[in-house]
């Protein structure tokens, strides 16, 4: 692994086969893509804006463990060590990513952020504009900056003048600063649910969880059967069929929490996934809600006179508000001008497919699959490398013999 400035473009930039493939992002998606390309004899250069690989994982809260099993979370070419246990901790994920880059001797350039990607002037390959005025020309580009790129904080009325403590979940580390305090967690995705439980176990005097839309909740594991296994099995089935299958299973495994403010959702589980909302995997939330240790309250509507106004008209005055309100992909500045993003800012294609108007531009890690993010990143990496290798072979066949 190298830690230096990016190399200059090749002296002869006319043949795309002579150029490296640039992989933007040094997380699991970018590292696995770089390995898969290298395994096919293709030079891949990873550009990482921070000073180390796995930057987003390093920023997650202390309590975090993978909700997917160790065996189904390894990247191509290196399984996760058994000593990490079934549910791998945040710190062990970081250790694994560091080891992955080292073992595979990946070419990684840190401290370089790509601001814009556009077609190379000669019409072949891509030109990347990066930190320090760099202009890098690559045969292809794999964008892997990650699902959790830029914290999203809603523009609630009165938010800018609110004088209470308000932070995004990306800035939360552990419950220690909130012991003995009244905390409102906003958002009931996996992050919000787990932070609420962490606060309760860590000694917060009161924990409220603000919910706009009741989520599907699943057990992370039932009698040794991980929820991820079910996700893998139904991954390719019709959405409506999976919705029908999931409904009775949920009733058997998850108690009705309607009396506590969490009714069963009206829409199907897999329908929600296709819309970008994965189920909440239970790591203690069900019991905490049933015991009243985590109180479910209405969605946040505004901040007014030092208080938080909820959708049902209730006004609360917590000591701190933690917004588990998700992240933005923030791809508009880099590739938005190429017409490769949908209305929500997500790539119109992913994996081995490239946009019709931008061949050679690949995206990985911008879906949130029911079968597990790391598993799908590993699969996509191999497919992307195969597609790029095929493109390189076809390009080479067109070159004149010398």
Q: What is the pLDDT of residues 77-86, one digit of tens each?
A: 999 999 999 9
Domain end among 323, 340, 362: 323
What pLDDT is recorded for position 393? 59
How far apart are alpha carbons 293 and 185 in whole angstroms? 13
Same domain, residue pair 318 and 246: yes
In a domain, 216, yes or no: yes
Which tokens sit at 293? 């240790």
Please report, for residues 24, 64, 110, 172, 274, the alpha-carbon distance to residue 61 in angstroms, rounded to integers and kept in the order given: 24, 6, 23, 6, 27
Residues 126 and 59: their CA atoms lie apart, in Å, by 31
In a domain, residue 126? The reply is: yes
Please list, in sequence order, all residues whose beta carbon lies within 8 angstroms of the beta carbon of residue 234, skipping any fewer than 6 positions away. 242, 245, 270, 370
CA proximity to 44, closest of 29, 55, 30, 54: 30
pTM of the model: 0.89
Buried b (16+ CB within 10 A) or exposed e, 229-242: bbbbebbeeeeeeb
Asked if residue 219 and residue 159 are part of one domain, the reply reads: yes
Q: Is residue 128 part of a domain?
A: yes
CATH classification of the domain holding 299: 3.50.50.60
Which of 274, 304, 323 delimits the end of a domain? 323
pLDDT number for residue 368: 84
Q: What are the backbone dihedrals phi and psi of residue 17, each rounded to the nearest 5 degrees, phi first?
A: -65, -20
Residues 261 and 144 in one domain: no
**The pLDDT of residue 395:** 55
What is the total count of domains within the chain? 2
Tokens describing residue 243:
């919705």
Judge whether 213 lies within some domain. Answer: yes
* 341 and 236 co-located in one domain: no
Give the residue from 323, 343, 358 where a domain finishes: 323
Q: Is residue 135 part of a domain?
A: yes
Indicate whether 10 belongs to any domain: no
Residues 365 and 341 in one domain: yes
**Do 27 and 48 lie in a common domain?**
yes
Structure tokens at 401: 């013999």
33 and 117 in a common domain: yes
Regarding whether 317 and 189 lie in a shared domain, the answer is yes
11 occurs within a structural domain: no
One domain for residues 126 and 53: yes
pLDDT recorded at residue 277? 84
Q: Does residue 7 fall inside a structural domain?
A: no
pLDDT number for residue 397:
44
Confidence at residue 396, expressed as pLDDT on a 0 to 100 scale = 46
Residue 311 CB contacts under 8 Å (≥ 6 apart), including other chains: 212, 298, 299, 300, 301
Widest distance between CA atoms in the chain: 78
**20 and 139 belong to one structural domain:** yes
Instruction: Give buried/exposed letters for 70-99 (b at 16+ CB in 10 A, else e).
Output: bebbbbbbbebeeebeebbebebbbbbbee
- The answer to whether 95 and 229 have CB atoms below 8 angstroms apart is no
Please check whether residues 169 and 311 belong to one and the same domain: yes
- 153-176 residues labelled b (16+ CB within 10 A) or e (exposed): beebeeeeebeeebebbbebeebe
| Structural domain of 367 | 16-149+329-398
Parts of the chain with a pLDDT under 70:
1-18, 391-402
Q: What is the mean pLDDT of the chain?
A: 91
Q: Do 227 and 279 lie in a common domain?
A: yes
């Amino acid at each position: 692994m190298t830690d230096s400035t990016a190399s200059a473009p090749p002296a002869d930039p006319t043949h795309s086969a002579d150029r490296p493939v640039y992989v933007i992002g040094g997380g699991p998606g970018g590292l696995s893509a770089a390995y898969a390309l290298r395994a096919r004899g293709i030079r891949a250069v990873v550009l990482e804006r921070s000073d180390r690989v796995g930057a987003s994982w390093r920023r997650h809260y202390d309590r975090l463990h993978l909700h997917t099993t160790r065996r189904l979370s390894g990247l191509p070419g290196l399984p996760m060590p058994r000593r990490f246990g079934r549910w791998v901790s945040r710190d062990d994920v970081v250790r694994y990513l560091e080891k992955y880059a080292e073992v595979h001797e990946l070419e990684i350039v840190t401290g370089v952020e790509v601001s814009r990607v556009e077609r190379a002037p000669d019409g072949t390959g891509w030109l990347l504009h990066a930190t320090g005025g760099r202009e890098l020309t690559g045969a292809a580009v794999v964008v892997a900056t990650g699902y959790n790129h830029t914290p999203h904080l809603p523009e609630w009325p009165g938010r800018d003048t609110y004088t209470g403590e308000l932070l995004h979940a990306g800035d939360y580390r552990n419950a220690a600063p909130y012991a003995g305090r009244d905390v409102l967690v906003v958002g009931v995705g996996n992050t919000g649910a787990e932070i609420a439980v962490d606060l309760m176990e860590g000694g917060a005097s009161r924990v409220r969880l603000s919910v706009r839309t009741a989520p599907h909740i699943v057990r992370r594991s039932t009698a040794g059967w991980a929820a991820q296994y079910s996700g893998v099995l139904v991954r390719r089935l019709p959405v409506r069929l999976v919705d029908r299958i999931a409904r009775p299973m949920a009733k058997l495994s998850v108690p009705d929490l309607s009396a506590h403010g969490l009714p069963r959702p009206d829409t199907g589980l897999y329908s929600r996934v296709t819309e970008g909302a994965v189920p909440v995997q239970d790591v203690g939330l069900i019991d905490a809600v049933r015991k009243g240790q985590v109180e479910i309250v209405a969605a946040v509507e505004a901040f007014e006179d030092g208080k938080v106004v909820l959708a049902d008209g209730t006004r609360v005055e917590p000591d701190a508000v933690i917004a588990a309100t998700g992240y933005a992909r923030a791809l508009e500045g880099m590739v938005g001008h190429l017409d490769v993003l949908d209305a929500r800012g997500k790539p119109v294609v992913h994996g081995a497919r490239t946009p019709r108007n931008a061949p050679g531009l690949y995206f990985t890690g911008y879906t949130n699959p029911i079968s597990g993010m790391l598993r799908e990143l590993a699969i996509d990496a191999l497919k992307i490398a195969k597609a790029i290798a095929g493109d390189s072979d076809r390009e080479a066949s067109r070159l004149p013999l010398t």
